[in-house]
Amino acid sequence: MSHPPGKPPIAPDGRSRLIGPPVYRPAVAQPKAPAGPPVYRPAVAQPKAPAGPPVYRPVVVQPKAPAGPPVYRPAVVQRKAPVGPPVYRPAVVQPKTPAPAVAAAARVPAVRAATVPARPAPVQRYTTYWAIRNWGGLGRAMRVSDDGKMAVPDSAIFQGTKILYATEDVIDAANQRLQVTGSPYRLDQLNETIQGRRPWTLRSYQTLYRVSPRDTRNAVGGVGVKGGSGDNLRTLENCSAHGLDSMGIGIDGPSQALSTRDFRIDVGNGQTVRNSGSSAHEFDSDLVAKRRIMEFIHRDKHGLGADVPVDLETVRDTYAGLTRAERLQYALQLGMNEYAMPQVGEGIEALRAFGNFAGFPMHFAAVVARSGNDYVTLENWAKTGEQRAPGDTVHASGAWYFRMYGVIKTGYFWDDDQSYSGEHAAEGSIADREHMMGLVNQNRPKA
């Protein structure tokens, strides 16, 4: 739609469409009623209902059914299988199933069979103190039993000492046992004393007395005369002769026929070999004993019956080829080697099972004192004319000595074998461990 020039446009409603400039209109503020002063209005507390007096509500105890009279129920003790001494298990040895002809006692169980006489658990063993420790104020290296009741100076094989200290109760127990077993030797308690501390403790001091050996058959002794006591004591020189004599048998002792004692070599599993009772025949007894042991081990390892013949060379090879774990396992079961634990009045020997080695084929000693599983021997050994002291003879030697032994002590990093056979093996005086045995010689009443 057009419109005439010069004329303002007209809207359909007849009003002009011309728009003027924007007009500024300020906002008009509405007047407010004047405010009065602030009014304080305190909070109005709601009224509470008046509380009544406290109400006591006793605890309601539920009634119980009437109980009958008390019933005694003794504790039930589960029956356990008889357990022998602790078993050393350095490695797992797979058990073998023996042939039906092999008796149950011929197996190698984890613990000693119930039919085998139990032995004292190998708990105690001696402790060696260096000279710098000055145990007992003696200023020398000492071997001390674990309970601190026995002590001897430390020494090498065949180089013992004539010094022994023990508590009064150990001395009394030793003399009682020596008398019962028929030994001619006694331990005299001297006035000299020391104060010794029990190993691995700080305060447990005990009084130990100096001990002197005495031959009850002859109190004089001296150079060239068998018998005597202390420094004048003279014994048989040969180890076997002296050991058997100390047990009440041998050259100067009663014969087996007249003796009331029974002397046997322990071969384990409740079996023994009769000791011939004479130093001239001890090798016969030893040969039988060690062959009996090697045959048992061979049959057990190969599951053979007792009636199966085996030759000597074969059983020797089996014994020499035992692993360390097997050797310890059999030693524990048979009560030999590291676990040979003789009593006072009994003998202990280390002998060569077989093989060619320098030194003695065996060494024998009698036990004269014991505390726990630590024991002291009274020893001597055969010498040549050059080795023998002036005035000494084969039949009257002043070269006797004391020595202390124990059982094997196992640790995490090493083993300390303090047994009789173990120390001889360590010093190579007879043979190495694979070719040697340590056996107990029993001294018991005749049946």
Summarised one tens digit per residue, pLDDT across range 223-235 is 888 999 999 999 9
The CA angle 321-327-330, to the nearest 5 degrees, is 125
13: pLDDT strictly greater than 90: no
Q: Does some domain include residue 415? A: yes
266: pLDDT strictly greater than 70: yes
Rounded Cα distance, 326 and 324, in Å:
5
120: pLDDT strictly greater than 60: no
Asked if residues 108 and 329 have their Cβ atoms less than 8 Å apart, the reply is yes
pLDDT tens across 288-342, in order? 899 999 999 999 999 999 889 999 999 999 999 999 899 989 999 999 998 899 9
Rounded Cα distance, 357 and 428, in Å:
9
Mean pLDDT, residues 398-406 taken together? 93
pLDDT at position 216 is 94
Q: Does some domain include residue 47? A: no
User: Pick from 313, 293, 310: which is nearest to 354 by CA?
Assistant: 313
User: Pick from 262, 419, 256, 294: which is nearest to 349 by CA?
Assistant: 419
Mean pLDDT, residues 149-161 taken together? 87
Lowest mean pLDDT among 23-27, 96-100, 306-310, 362-366: 96-100
Q: Which percentage of the chain shows pLDDT scores above 90?
A: 35
Q: Encoding tokens for residue 129?
A: 């103190």
110: pLDDT strictly greater than 90: no
Residue 187 CA to chain centroid, in angstroms? 29
3: pLDDT strictly greater than 70: no
Rounded Cα distance, 279 and 284, in Å:
10
Asked if residues 170 and 150 have their Cβ atoms less than 8 Å apart, the reply is yes
279: pLDDT strictly greater than 80: no
Tell me which DSSP letter residue 308 carries.
S
pLDDT at position 389 is 92
> Structurally, how many domains does the chain consist of?
1
Q: Does some domain include residue 369? A: yes
127: pLDDT strictly greater than 70: no
Please give the sequence-ordered ranges of beta strands (E in DSSP) within 147-293, or none if there are none: 150-153, 165-166, 185-197, 205-215, 261-268, 271-274
Asked if residues 279 and 394 have their Cβ atoms less than 8 Å apart, the reply is no
Q: In what order do the strands lie in the sheet with 362-371?
A: 271-274, 261-268, 436-445, 347-352, 362-371, 374-379, 401-405
Residue 214 CA to chain centroid, in angstroms? 33
User: What SS3 class is residue 392?
Assistant: coil
* Residue 133 binned pLDDT confidence (cut-offs 50, 70, 90): low
What average pLDDT does the structure give for the chain? 76
pLDDT at position 96 is 42
Print the domain residue range for 321. Answer: 106-112+123-445
Rounded Cα distance, 234 and 215, in Å:
9
Asked if residues 209 and 192 have their Cβ atoms less than 8 Å apart, the reply is yes
Q: Does some domain include residue 52? A: no
User: What SS3 class is residue 370?
Assistant: strand
Residue of higher predicted confidence among 82 and 215: 215
pLDDT tens across 61-104, in order? 565 666 655 555 555 445 444 444 444 444 433 444 433 333 33
For the ranges 112-116, 260-264, 278-282, the one whose mean pLDDT is highest: 260-264
Angle between the N-to-C axes of helices 282-302 and 324-334, in degrees from 0 to 180, rounded to the nearest 10:
120
Q: Which residues fall within 8 angstroms of residue 435, CB to CB, at 6 or more apart? A: 320, 352, 353, 354, 355, 357
Q: Which percentage of the chain shows pLDDT scores above 70?
A: 64
* Residue 43 binned pLDDT confidence (cut-offs 50, 70, 90): low
Mean pLDDT, residues 151-180 taken together? 92
Q: Does some domain include residue 42? A: no
Mean pLDDT, residues 353-359 taken together? 85
Q: Does some domain include residue 23? A: no
Q: Does some domain include residue 409? A: yes
Q: Encoding tokens for residue 313?
A: 């060379």
Q: Does some domain include residue 382? A: yes
pLDDT at position 355 is 85
**pTM: predicted TM-score of the whole model, two decimal places:** 0.68
